[in-house]
Amino acid sequence: MRVVDHAVYDVAILSDLRHPGGNSASIVAEVRAQAAAGLTTVLVHVPSPRLRHVRPFESRVVACLRDGLADLADDDDEIDARVLLIRRPGAFTIDPPAVRAGHTIAVLDQLPGDFGEVREHVERRFGPLVVWAPVNARVREEVLRVAPGIALPETDWHEIIDVAEWRHERRPHSTVPVLGWHSGPDAGECPDTPDVRVRLLGGGESFREFLGTLDFFVHFPDPVRAPAGRSVLEAMASGVPVIAAPHLRSALAEAAVYTHPAGVRDLALRLHQDRPAYEALAARARSFVTEQFGSASHLARLASLGVLPRAAVPSPRTEMQPSARPARRVLLVGDDIARFRAVARRLPADIEPVVVAGSAGLPAAHAAGLLTEYLPSAADLGAPENRWAGFVRDRLRHLIELYGPRAVLVGGVPHDGIVAAVEENEGPRWLWLRAAMWRRGAGGQWAARGALFSGILEPGEFAAGGDEGWTTTARAGVSTVDPITELPRKPRRRTAENTLLCRGVVASLPGFTVAEARPGELGGIAVAVSRADYTNFHELIGARVPTVFVPDPDGADDELARARFAAAAGVAICATTDDEAAAALERLADPAAREALARRCAELSFGNGAGDAAAWLAGHCRERSGTGVRSAR
């Protein structure tokens, strides 16, 4: 294992590296996610008197150090890092080594009994700007109970899990369902009947081995003291459906099924006999874990602190099992990067997306950690359209031979280059991510080319009632979903300073500071002025940001219809001239006017179709291509 060899690390993790169980699992998961994103990590060991000093480092931590995923700090090292994560801060009774960091996060997986003393000790060592980050809602409530004035981050520093690592081949469908039941207060109520077999973890068996023997994982933690634990996430990632206590529904949503201990047997038998329902539950659970607790969520929170992934590189681990490698690939072709990113991050772990885009879209795809390939535009090549079509055909043929994708999803329009590629490459399923909300009389020439594709997906429009475009009469056989955005699962407004967000429009407002914001940061924007293109329109309304929409009359889609619909619905203001925009912004300088718009947005909220779009795409990746392609020139 290496000792420190970087001037400034991206992340330093300070903890007692001997802790077994969840603490080490969380450290290892974050180290691996950081290494896979090209980030540097140093581990700083601080011994806790609660563990015997002769105890070695936890074996998974040792493996990370051995494989070069992280460096180990010596006691005398002075460490500089962009972000410092302190885990189990309540276990330290001695001063930890000096670490200078731009951001210091003290992660609380439980509330220390002497939180006031712990807080004073940590802040004396690392300064008053330490951010105290609960891992879940239960810890958050306990912290606020003992320290009601403390400022906590809006979102929890939840655990993450390497979903691919936990995937394993499903055991054959047994005649009698096997239930894995955690020992606990309700263990005595586990069913003991001839038609249900119950197993309890024990006997030196690892949890991974235990899961491999199960049809269901049953979880009834203490409703007061214990939330859904890491074991539930690991079960879901491994493909084992979870039967949980009803109080966990708020945390696990539709990723589990719920009953009381007495109802476990009947529920398990019913699902075991209904194989489609069983498989659907397992797929929902895996998607839920990937979306909410996958490594991408950790990289996103590091990015919010200014630590951006350098590359999407594979982990140096050599012991990765073949089943953990992506079994299928899908090419996402076009510059519709915002929707591509939203869908890609919700794909199952065994499907790897590859974005094929022009120079305008590649940086945004790179920033999301996606594998990318360059497809120059005609302007980039200085080529006439007819020659460029041949180039697109040849380039896509090469990429299909290289990656062997199950499907190719085309964002944008099926121009001649796409048509030529479809007709030459019948191996993958060709799919179209088709935009709605065309301006009246525009784009109808693309309608016939829908026959080229095995499937067409049309993302929803909040302003669908004002859509007069050609797709409204061409939806036979077309799949539709809610608007696709990159917004977090539950966008929340918070008390915002006087910040003005400008997207595609140059504007100012006295007393307001112009700011930038990614989708997850929109809750802190006071007011926005923006074009009414698809992405900005749905992100700003979905995040309940008081907005003045200034539509571009020459846009490819009907921005004017969107903006007017939003104004009629009372969720935004439409301005078609500079004077109108200036007057509207002045109105929104009033907090009461902003609050009225935000409240109306909340009343007319819409869902995020990214998850359904990912499920639709994944379904096509699991099917084989058709036998032929019809011409639609």
| Residue-wise pLDDT tens digits, 268-305 | 999 999 988 999 999 899 888 988 888 888 988 998 88
- What's the pLDDT at 223? 65
H or E element: which one contains 230?
Answer: helix 230-237
What are residue 408's phi and psi, to 5 degrees? -125, 120
- What's the pLDDT at 361? 80
Of 575, 57, 69, 591, which Cα lies nearest the Cα of 314? Answer: 69
pLDDT at 496 > cutoff 80: no
H helix runs in 368-457, sequence order = 378-381, 385-403, 416-424
User: pLDDT digits over 311-334, tens only?
Assistant: 543 333 333 333 333 458 999 999
Separation CA 203–CA 198 (nearest Å): 15
* Residue 434 CA to its chain's centroid (Å): 23
H helix runs in 531-624, sequence order = 534-542, 559-569, 578-588, 591-603, 610-621
Can you give the length of the chain in residues?
633
**Amino acid identity, position 363:** P
Separation CA 519–CA 510 (nearest Å): 25
Which range of 41-55, 322-336, 575-589 scores highest in mean pLDDT? It is 575-589
- What's the pLDDT at 6? 61
Of 153, 96, 154, 88, which Cα lies nearest the Cα of 115? Answer: 88
Distances (CA, A) of 627 to 307, 427, 604: 47, 9, 44
Sign of the dihedral through C-alpha 501, 504, 510, 515: positive
Separation CA 41–CA 8 (nearest Å): 10
Which range of 108-122, 171-185, 560-574 scores highest in mean pLDDT? It is 560-574
Q: Which SS3 state, helix, strand or coil, does residue 207 take?
A: helix
User: pLDDT digits over 99-111, tens only?
Assistant: 899 999 999 988 8
Of 561, 537, 554, which Cα lies nearest the Cα of 464? Answer: 561
- Compute the CA torsion angle 313, 317, 323, 325 (nearest 10 deg): 10
CB atoms within 10 A of CB 154: 9
What letter would DSSP give residue 160?
-
| End-to-end C-alpha distance for the chain, whole angstroms | 61
Report pTM.
Answer: 0.52
User: pLDDT digits over 235-270, tens only?
Assistant: 999 999 999 988 888 888 889 999 988 899 999 999
Lowest-pLDDT range of 173-177, 244-248, 436-440: 173-177
User: pLDDT digits over 63-89, tens only?
Assistant: 888 888 999 887 667 889 999 999 988
**Amino acid identity, position 442:** A
Exposed (0-12), middle (13-18) or buried (19+): which is 276, by Cβ within 10 Å? exposed
pLDDT at 188 > cutoff 60: no
Pairing of strands 479-481, 216-219: unpaired
What letter would DSSP give residue 96?
P
Separation CA 544–CA 594 (nearest Å): 10
Separation CA 548–CA 550 (nearest Å): 6
Among all chains, which residue has been given the structure tokens 């962009």? 82
Of 464, 431, 428, which Cα lies nearest the Cα of 450? Answer: 431
Which pair of tokens denotes residue 554?
A: 């020459």
pLDDT at 52 > cutoff 70: no
pLDDT at 484 > cutoff 80: yes
Q: Are 284 and 254 in contact (CB under 8 A)?
A: yes
Exposed (0-12), middle (13-18) or buried (19+): which is 397, by Cβ within 10 Å? middle
At a CB cut-off of 8 Å and minimum separation 6, what does 491 contact? Answer: 522, 523, 542, 543, 544
Of 400, 394, 354, which Cα lies nearest the Cα of 376? Answer: 394
Distances (CA, A) of 436 to 81, 447, 456: 46, 12, 12
Distances (CA, A) of 354 to 201, 346, 372, 405, 582: 40, 14, 5, 9, 42
pLDDT at 507 > cutoff 50: yes
**Average pLDDT value for residue range 364-372:** 77
